Structure 1
């Protein structure tokens, strides 16, 4: 499979000092990049054409999002579950909390599949207890436990081009798992190890799929984003970042050839922060191959 190549230098778009940058989402309708600072309880929007930066503050952690197909605004995951948020008027509408019995958990990463269902993973707030699960939330607001992962930290998911393979990260154990997926029912089966990161490469965090089906994986503690063949897991390319904790990535821009990358200051020592002044910034780099537009939430 072709190895994609950068067509620009890496650039810092927003030195936001995010405690935990995450949740990248390109908005084709706004031609803007949404992203979050989970622990800072903020949603950000960056508009490349004008370089406009807008932020919204929440009373709890916000972690992942998707645009709605049939209404304005976003579906978001908060510490307390799923909600609608309209950036234009600031309206927040809680929808469903699947884990009121797990007050030590919070939502982490998530995104929509091609059918318009949102898949969101939960995790232990302290990143130690194996309480993480993966949920599937549909247009009728039905929430299904898709995978009782028992992971301390969940990240992803992303999908193969045909939508029949789901990739999901067991971050604390450095593992990327693959599952067979029935797109019609959401049923997962045949869990298998797709990739285990080497010790020096950090931990697999957020990830996305490009137009050729390659996986792009952010490396927490590894200062990079790597690109992998979706069948063999062979590494095809690597984008180095000037800070250790690289947390999420997605494609955007007019031709979907810009890779947006979030980073974090969380868990860096004072000495590391002094040496990495751009920790917590939003970055971008242009590539010679496009990604895919994000799927919309059907509800």
Structure 2
């Protein structure tokens, strides 16, 4: 068993770093700073960080088959052309809720982009309850709502056979499972899979590994936990040197490295001094498990 190594590879104070996605053809890590209102790309070989600033909070980003990216920003699904920094709106949601914004999102195995909404935060992890919904953006730019009454729409991923959608509404403190029809993109039969323990914090972003196990970043818990969806049991905990872990993805060679984003919004000076790498991006090696390439939006 190789020993697990954790290092801060991007020591930037992102306000709410989120939505890490490995871009294999470029060998780069894509991610967002939600309240910093930017999409960023980090090259591990050169250590260069590029970013595109947007006019609204940006909840998540995904790869796009035709080039560039799909983003969930404000309450609009948009396409982002990296070369000219141009944002093209594709569809709008929650138009009756001007205080809402998109949060986490991910592309499904058929090239649809799922992302959920929430109310703007009063302060970190404090929101007006039941204001959010989970949506799918189809390649033809139509949008379908899965359900509403969500507090903080968060982590999303799919089982290896694509028959189950895993989903997190953070303030429920649960990881949920839904039956998923990958042909139509419809979901049903939502149920609880795992309830976080009090010291584990708030469930945030999530990804699946090549063995079909889930990795959940625990906000205010300073860790990622590995869950077996078959048993609903936690099977591993990896602690990080910061409290506000927000999301995770696999990347690097053969998807053998895990990247974990974090936040520094809402920290007092004392905590910032004790956790100076808060808001940075961490690389975890030696987990002994690989991830899967991300899906690409087909629109």
Answer whether TM exceeds 0.5 for this pair.
yes
Residue pair 2:255, 2:290 contacting (<8 A) in 1 also: yes
| Counterpart residue number, 1:195 | 194
Q: Does 1:23 align with 2:19?
A: yes
TM-score by length of 1: 0.95
Give the Cα separation in 1 of the matches to 2:192 and 2:204: 16
Q: Give the total of aligned pairs.
A: 293
Give the Cα separation in 2 of the matches to 1:67 and 1:282: 19
Residue pair 1:146, 1:186 contacting (<8 A) in 2 also: no
| Counterpart residue number, 1:289 | 289
Q: Does 1:255 align with 2:216?
A: no
Gaps of 5+ in 1: none
Give the Cα separation in 1 of the matches to 2:216 and 2:266: 20
Residue pair 1:121, 1:134 contacting (<8 A) in 2 also: yes
- Aligned equivalent of 1:116, options 85, 95, 111: 111
- Aligned equivalent of 1:102, options 73, 86, 97: 97
| Counterpart residue number, 1:219 | 218
| Counterpart residue number, 1:44 | 40
Q: Deviations over 1:7-38 (max 9, x none)?
A: 55111111110111101111112110001110
- Aligned equivalent of 1:68, options 34, 59, 64: 64
Give the Cα separation in 2 of the matches to 1:206 and 1:173: 14
Give the Cα separation in 2 of the matches to 1:135 and 1:7: 40
TM-superposed CA distance for 1:78, in Å, is: 0.2
Larger mean CA deviation between 117-126 and 269-278 belongs to 269-278
Give the Cα separation in 2 of the matches to 1:6 and 1:40: 36
TM-superposed CA distance for 1:181, in Å, is: 1.0
Give the Cα separation in 2 of the matches to 1:8 and 1:241: 11
Give the Cα separation in 2 of the matches to 1:16 and 1:176: 29
| Counterpart residue number, 1:143 | 143
Q: Does 1:33 align with 2:29?
A: yes
SS at match of 1:255: helix
Larger mean CA deviation between 52-61 and 16-25 belongs to 52-61
Gaps of 5+ in 2: 122-126
Residue pair 1:147, 1:188 contacting (<8 A) in 2 also: no
Q: Deviations over 1:268-294 (max 9, x none)?
A: 222211211111001111232110000
| Counterpart residue number, 2:156 | 157
- Aligned equivalent of 2:80, options 66, 82, 85: 85
| Counterpart residue number, 1:129 | 129
Give the Cα separation in 2 of the matches to 1:81 and 1:52: 29
| Counterpart residue number, 2:124 | none
Give the Cα separation in 1 of the matches to 2:292 and 2:6: 20
| Counterpart residue number, 2:173 | 174
TM-superposed CA distance for 1:177, in Å, is: 1.0
Q: Deviations over 1:189-232 (max 9, x none)?
A: 22111011011110100000011111000000100011111211
Q: Deviations over 1:62-110 (max 9, x none)?
A: 12111111x2200101013100101122111111111111111100000
TM-superposed CA distance for 1:233, in Å, is: 2.2
